[in-house]
Structure 1
């Protein structure tokens, strides 16, 4: 028996595995490989654990990496925008940083924590 055979009816190659021929299937390759980043990795883990069908669909269509890179970019931009807006609204300025660095660090950490929670609820865990 041949190790590989080609079926002209469906255009697939088959490989001999034991007594059976198994189709040689590959996933489509993505055109670009953008870095996924922290937010994209968290969303990927969420999809794998809670939205399995969406994850498998994106994976088999070859669009998973692009989708996750897009989520990462959106989350990063949202983080910068939210932190800047909250800091302006609450009066956390460079002047406060110069006068009281410890207070400024504490308030910025609070702002960043709130911004992360907003991103989790609106982008990552949806």
Structure 2
């Protein structure tokens, strides 16, 4: 299980206890978390690619100005992580 699955597991343990217990007792917890992990990672990858293209964060920028590229990628990664958390993890 990756980072996304672990975050979602913590969330359902704390905030959706009945749902968590039902998944655990039915033996479906691991497959459920695996699906959440896959959905979250696919959304993250897709949004990173789309937004990087839209915002002009390219390999050319990386070659021309590495520090600017790093800063913009870090900001983008944070924004995309927030989106994935809101749409997949903390629901």
**TM-score normalised over the length of structure 2:** 0.98
- Displacement of 1:107: 0.3
Aligned match of 1:122 in 84, 87, 90? 87
The alignment yields a C-alpha RMSD, in angstroms, of: 0.5
Corresponding residue of 1:77: 42
1:43 aligns with 2:5: no
Q: Which aligned segments of 4 or more residues in structure 1 are displaced greater than 2 angstroms? A: none
Residue 41 of structure 1 aligns to a residue whose secondary structure is helix
1:91 match: 56
Structure 2: runs of 5+ lacking an equivalent: none
Normalized per residue, the structure richer in helix is 2
Question: Residue 67 of structure 1: CA displacement?
Answer: 0.3
In structure 2, the partner of 1:3 is none
Q: Normalising to structure 1: TM-score of the pair?
A: 0.71
